Amino acid sequence: MYAQYVARRFGMMLLVIVLAVSINFLLPRLMPGDPVEAQLNQLLATGGGGGDISAMVEAYRARFGLDQPLFAQYLSYWKAVFSLDLGVSLAAYPERVSHAILAGLPWTLGLLGFATLVSFVIGTWLGGLLGWPRTPRVTRVFGTGLILFSSVPYFLIGMVLLYLFAIVFRWFPAGGGMPFGQSVGFNWQTLTAIAWHGTLPAASIILAEIGAWALGMRGMMVSVLGEDYITLAEAKGLKPRRIFRWYGLRNALLPQLTKLAMTLGHIVSGAILVEVIFSYPGIGFRLYQAIQANDYFVIQGIVLLLSVSIAIAMFILDLAYPLIDPRITTGRD
């Protein structure tokens, strides 16, 4: 039964990836305008080149394979995807798209991965406590205060933190991922510098996300309190702490895990505005620059990375579900 379950989920993941790659290929080509011509016109407008624009457009279209029939381009695109060759940047030629993504990906994964997991753990635990009737009153007051932040967009929280702690008090840097002129290395100095620069961006995301996680968990906790297994556990005389952890929190956790997988899948572009506000050198800031420059090979590469990461995250989550609730593989209610 479990093998069939895994095979179905794996097939679903492949189908999602095929559809995502196909849509990612078609959408830029259905958009009006020619990105190569737009880039060359922009270059000429800034005095960066000269000559016959039509000849340059044809040369670049041939260089990027855009003069081929659509189906031939589609097959070439699949071949490039399998070989991890996502082309070259139009705005920063001859930089390769894969190099641009790999340069920003560690910064985004480090910042948003840390902030998402911290906010998930704190928010889920807090929501469980708020939904539990035996929670002390002081915890409810403190938790309600944190939930108020969920109604404020994280980029607004980031702007407030930037003004207070970077401009007024000067406790943290106003932007960047490292001090200017310092090179990245595997040493304590680099780790402290990265943590120092990432404190304000991470804090803005954590403060905004804790309330959202807590609200979702609180609602699920309230719904499971009326289930028969909670009543049975109380009738058996189990300790309240054990009922909270193993009967309440565990059964209310499934929707939270689904949201976590989708959040991690969107982690690449999830906080573009935060990276823009703090000039953080992550993949979200790189996507923002590519959209501004109509650099659609870079946009295409980042969107492809986002789609595949969501599909893989959902597949991993599907494999983890039966470990939490065995009824999923058997199809029982």
What local confidence, expressed as pLDDT, does residue 45 receive? 64
What local confidence, expressed as pLDDT, does residue 137 receive? 79
pTM above 0.75, yes or no: no
pLDDT tens digit sequence for 59-94: 666 766 777 888 888 888 888 888 877 777 777 777
Of 147, 323, 324, the residue nearest 253 (C-alpha): 324
195 to each of 162, 172, 177, how far by Cα in Å? 16, 10, 9
Alpha helices in 225-292 (DSSP H): 228-235, 240-242, 250-252, 254-265, 272-277, 283-292
Give average pLDDT by consecutive 10-residue segment, the chain, 333 residues: 80 88 80 66 60 66 73 84 79 79 85 87 87 79 74 82 90 83 78 89 87 83 82 83 82 75 62 80 83 78 82 80 65 52
What local confidence, expressed as pLDDT, does residue 327 receive? 64
Of 109, 114, 36, 158, the residue nearest 306 (C-alpha): 109
Give the C-alpha separation, 45 to 285, whole Å: 25
What is 301-325 written as a DSSP string? Answer: HHHHHHHHHHHHHHHHHHHHHHHH-
